Structures are given as C-alpha cells and as structure tokens.
C-alpha cells in the first residue's frame, strides 16, 4: 500500500512516496517554479538514479501530473501504476480553532479552509490549490489534511490570548495559533522514548530551527506555549522573517518612509531575519563562514538569532518549572552546533549544561544524539524531525477510521522498538566520516547500509 504526501506552496510542490506495508520511503521530490516559466521537477527515488525534468507547470494540477509521471517512470519510478496510491496526505498551514487534529478532506472541510484564508494569506490559498489539484488527479482515493496548528490547540487561554481588544479575538480570530505542529509532535514523542518516560509525564522545550523557526513549550506531553502567533511571523529570528518586533515599527515605517502596508508586510516576511541583518545571506553556513572571515554583520546576525533563542528557552523554563529535555530539530537545529552552543550558553543555573565536544560532533540527520554534559540535570537532544511520517500515519489512520487526537492515538515512532529504515541505512556512512558520533547516539540504529546508495544519504 502506497501513501503519497504533498506539501504545496504558492510556487512549489514537495512530495514523498511511502510504502506502508514495508514501512519505507520509496521516493521524495520537488517541483519548483509552479505557475511560473521554467518549472523543474527533481525526483529522488531511493536506491536509484535521480531524475530531473524541466516542464512548465502553469498550475498545481500540471505539477502533480508531472509527479505522477515521475513515480511511474520506467527508469526512475517506484510504483507500477497510479492505482498503487491508496491515500494522499496534504499539509495545511492554518486550521484556526476549528481543527485539533488531522481530518479527511471533504467539500465541507475545504470550505472551512477557505474561510480561514484570511488568517494565513501566504499559505492556505496554495494549500487549497494543491488539494483541489490532487483530488482532480487522484479522485478515487481519500485525501487527508494535516494542520500545522492542530498540535497547539491544547494551549491555555493565558498563553494564546493577546492583550488587545477582546472583540478582535471574538470577531476576527486574532490569537496565538502556533505552527510547525507536525515537527513538534514527532520530536516530542521521540524525546519521551529517549528519556524512557511516559510522553504525558514529560516536559520539553523544542526548538525547530530552519529557514522558518519556532520554539515550543510542552508540559505533560501537550503544547502549552509557542513562539509563532497569529501568523508564522512572530517569535524567533528566522531566515527572512523578523520574529518579535515592536508592534509600532510598521506604523513608524509607513509614516517615516512612506511605505504601504503590503510593502511592510513583505519586508518583515521576505527581507528581514538574518537576511535583513547580513544584507545578503540566509543559509546559516554562509553566514558562519562570512563571520569567520571578519564580516561584522554576519557576526551580529549569529548573535541576535542565538540571543533570541536563548531568551525563549529561559522563558519557557520558567513557565514549565521542570524541564526534562531541550530538543533541537530541523535544518539548523540538527546541523548547527554554533547556534545550539550559543543558545544554551550560560544556562547552567537552570540545569541546562551542554557538552561542547558532543555538540560539535552532532551533525547528522540520520541519528538521534544527546549533547548535554553527563552531569546536566536537563538532557539536551538533537532529534531529526520527520514531518512526512506524521502526515503519512495520520493519513493512513484517517483512511482506516482509527485516528484520533494525539493524546488518544499511538504513533509507530513513539514505541521503544521503532527504527527508521531510511536513516538506519545511512548512519554507517556518517560514522565513517565522524566516528565520534558513536559516543553520542542515543538509540543505536539496528539497520545497516546494505543496499543503500550514497546519493540517498545526506
């Protein structure tokens, strides 16, 4: 049984093809420049050669048709027929207060997503277009919507309420919603396994740090606070987003520089963050290299980003009282020892003590590592996220009628015996490059690299 997951942006479609029977990823890929000239497909089948194809995709439907051609391709395909796909899971950024778990896509649920477009004008319209396109291409299978916001629906009112006229919340839904929910769900469940604790007796602070970044306070296994708010703009310093700023800044810039509201919104979402400070870099590796070469703005960007992160960790430690573990995940969180080190610097009094050597060694997306000092009361984990697996398992369970909110549902990855076949097949290559990894891997993978092609491993 094959399950397809889709993450549709305004000009891109990311996908994964998963064999449910074998519990294995068959292929991943991306179509770029959807709705623009020069669309390009990059298809990465596991254990086979990568396929690149340029073909204009004026809409998401052409992009999904192109994906279906690739997954059935004679030389690069991973399924024999489109009939092998039995369900499709879709990422939806904003579910508002209407959804506290994933749902089957119906005309009724699509209507609700359309109602919520005003809360996520940069994301939900593209998600909806992707769903409609996929339903047209694959009309005979169930489709499931997995919301970024659903995980955070356990937040108490004291955490999600803004100190604004209450009518804004009642009439327009203005409140904190939070995002990156599938990533937080996965890493929270995995952290409980690594701690050997019941997930609903576990307190965590999870930092999802990539181009988009947010941090989550988890108390007794559920989300109680998070840094992103009504939109993904609030909170941490990100690749191109400002994160927290004085709310008066947009009005000041409109008055002082004559900027229009949409120009300010674009600047805060697309021209700010570390890009805004450095003037030219988003990739943290480029920023670190430039800082080493003496670029003062890049040094400042690193300090600002890490300082904001450290403040949030301290605030959430105060809010939780007891913290069992700090978790770093996503691109920078998984492979950025400099950011992790600066973000935890000086937190020893809170019981958070990093081991510099362990931190430096942890640069892998294929294993879960512990980078805290041996005498640290609070563990510090690096856990590679797997949002696609959450989407896949939700989609399957919705299709089978066995799904429920995560407090009443058990995922495969929250079981002690869980292993990730794709990552297990690559960890030996990481160990060859960095043997010191062996000393910090928390759950030693049981798989081997037999049959894994080097190009399949990151």
How many Å apart are CA 30 and CA 309, to the nearest integer?
30
List Cα–Cα distances, 384 to 171, 328, 366, 420, in angstroms. 39, 8, 7, 11
Q: Tell which phi-psi region holds residue 394, choosing left (phi > 0), alpha (psi between -120 and 50) or beta.
A: alpha
Sign (positive or negative) of CA dihedral 308, 309, 310, 312: positive
Which listed residue (148, 295, 355, 386) is catalytic? 148
Residue 234: closest CA among 316, 226, 116, 314: 226
Kindly write down the DSSP assignment for every residue of 369-412, as one continuous string. EE-B-TT-SBEEEE----HHHHHHHHHHHHHHT----GGG---G
Structure tokens that stand for 372 in this block: 């805290």
Residue 100: closest CA among 147, 145, 144, 169: 147
Contact 85, 79 (CB under 8 A): yes
Q: Hey, which bits of 284-353 come out as E strands?
A: 325-329
Helical axes 337-344 vs 284-292, angle rounded to 10°: 80
Residue 148 is a catalytic residue: yes
Residue 404: closest CA among 101, 20, 43, 58: 101
Contact 60, 34 (CB under 8 A): yes
Kindly write down the DSSP assignment for every residue of 89-135, as one continuous string. EEEES--TTT-SS-EE--HHHHHHHHHGGGG-TTTHHHHHHHHHHHH
Residues facing 7 on adjacent strands = 14
Distance from the Cα of residue 179 to its chain's centroid? 9
Distance from the Cα of residue 182 to its chain's centroid? 7
Residue 102: closest CA among 159, 182, 23: 182
List Cα–Cα distances, 70 to 30, 115, 331, 398, in angstroms. 11, 34, 27, 27
Q: What angle do CA 237, 91, 212 make, to 5 degrees?
A: 10
Pseudo-torsion of CA 198, 203, 208, 209, nearest 10°?
-140
The burial of 270, by beta-carbon neighbours within 10 Å (0-12 exposed, 13-18 middle, 19 or more buried), is given as middle
Residues with active-site annotation: 148
């Amino acid at each position: 049984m094959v399950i397809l997951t889709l993450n549709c942006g305004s000009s891109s479609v990311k996908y994964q093809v998963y064999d449910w029977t074998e519990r294995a990823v068959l292929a991943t890929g991306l179509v770029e420049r959807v709705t623009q000239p020069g669309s390009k497909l990059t298809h990465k089948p596991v254990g086979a050669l990568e396929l690149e194809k340029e073909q204009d995709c004026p809409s998401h439907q052409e992009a999904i048709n192109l994906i279906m051609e690739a997954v059935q391709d004679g030389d690069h395909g991973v399924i024999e027929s489109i009939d092998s796909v039995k369900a499709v899971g879709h990422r939806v950024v904003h579910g508002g207060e209407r959804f506290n778990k994933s749902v089957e896509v119906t005309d009724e649920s699509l209507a609700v997503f359309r109602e919520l477009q005003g809360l996520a004008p940069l994301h939900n319209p593209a998600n909806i277009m992707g769903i409609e396109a996929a339903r047209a291409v694959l009309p005979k299978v169930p489709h499931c919507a997995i919301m970024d916001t659903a995980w955070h629906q356990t937040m108490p009112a004291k955490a999600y309420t803004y100190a604004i006229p209450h009518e804004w919340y009642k009439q327009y839904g203005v409140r904190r919603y939070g995002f990156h929910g599938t990533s937080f769900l996965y890493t929270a469940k995995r952290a409980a396994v690594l701690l050997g604790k019941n997930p609903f007796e576990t307190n965590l602070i999870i930092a999802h740090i990539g181009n988009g970044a947010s941090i989550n306070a988890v108390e007794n296994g559920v989300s109680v606070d998070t840094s992103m708010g009504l939109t993904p703009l609030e909170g941490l310093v990100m690749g191109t987003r400002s994160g927290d700023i004085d709310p008066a800044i947009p009005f000041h810039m409109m008055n002082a520089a004559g900027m229009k509201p949409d120009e300010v919104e674009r600047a805060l979402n697309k021209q700010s963050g570390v890009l805004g400070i450095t003037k030219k870099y988003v990739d943290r590796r480029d920023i670190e290299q430039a800082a080493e070469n003496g670029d003062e703005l890049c040094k400042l960007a690193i300090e600002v980003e890490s300082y904001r992160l450290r403040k949030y960790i301290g605030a959430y430690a105060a809010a939780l009282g007891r913290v069992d573990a700090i978790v770093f995940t996503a691109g920078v969180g998984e492979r950025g020892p400099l950011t992790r080190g600066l973000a935890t610097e000086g937190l020893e009094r809170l019981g958070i003590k990093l081991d510099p050597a362990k931190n430096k060694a942890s640069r892998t997306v294929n294993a879960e590592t512990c980078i805290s000092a041996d005498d640290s009361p609070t563990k510090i984990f690096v856990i590679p996220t797997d949002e696609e697996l959450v989407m896949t398992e939700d989609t399957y369970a919705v299709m089978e009628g066995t799904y429920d909110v995560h407090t009443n549902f058990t995922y495969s990855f929250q079981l002690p015996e869980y292993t990730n076949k794709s990552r297990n097949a690559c960890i030996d290559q990481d160990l060859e490059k960095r043997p010191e990894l062996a000393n910090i891997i928390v759950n030693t993978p049981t798989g081997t690299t037999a049959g894994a092609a080097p190009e399949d491993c990151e």
